[in-house]
Structure 1
C-alpha cells in the first residue's frame, strides 16, 4: 500500500523529531521528582511483579498498554533503588524518558489536559 503525501511528510517529520531527540539526549539526564507514597508503592509493586506469560500477537492498543506498564515498572525500579522517603512522599531521580512516559500517559488519558499556547 502506497503512503499518501501527508504520511510521507509525517514519516519525514518523525525522523526529524528523532534527530531532535538525539541532539537533546546528552543535554538531559535525570530529573528529581516527588511522588506520593501510594504512587511510589504502586510503581515498586509493578517492578516486583513477575509476568509469566509470553507476549503473543497484540493490537496496537494492547502494545501501548503493555509499554506503559513497562514504563511504570522502570519507575518502580528507580524508586526501589534511589527513592528517599520525605514525609508522605518519595523523592527520586527519574530518567527524562520515564517522566515523559508518565506525562504522555496522563495527557492521553486526559488526566491532565493539553494546553494550547
Structure 2
C-alpha cells in the first residue's frame, strides 16, 4: 500500500468538489471552534471520532481560505487526503 501511495502522491494534489451551503458552513464553524481543553483520556472510538472532527476542521479551513460560494453551494479544491477521509467517514457510517 505504501508503494502505491508513493506513486499516487506525485500524481494527485487537489480535487475540486461542490458542497451544499449548510455542510460547508458547518465545516467552517468546526475550523473556528476553540478546543483548549485538549482530548484528555479517550477510547479508540473517541479517538477516531476526534480524528474525523480534525479532518472536518481542515476542510473548513480550505473552504475559508479558497472556497467560493456559487448559489446554494460552495466550490473548493480539497487536498485528496481530506476528500478521501470524508468519503471513508461516509462509507463507514452507511
TM-score normalised by structure 2 residue count: 0.96
Alignment partner, residue 50 of structure 2: 66
In 2, Cα distance between the equivalents of 1:20 and 1:57?
34
RMSD: 0.8
* Structure with greater Cα Rg: 1
Alignment partner, residue 23 of structure 2: 39
Q: 1:95 aligns with which of 53, 76, 79?
A: 79
- 1:57 deviates by 2.5
Structure 1 residue ranges, 4+ long, deviating more than 6 angstroms after superposition:
none
Q: 2:64 aligns with which of 80, 88, 96?
A: 80
- Is 2:29 the partner of 1:30? no
For structure 1, the 5+ residue unaligned runs are 1-16, 111-117
Q: What is the number of equivalent residue pairs in this alignment?
A: 94
In 2, Cα distance between the equivalents of 1:20 and 1:62?
29
- 1:23 deviates by 1.6
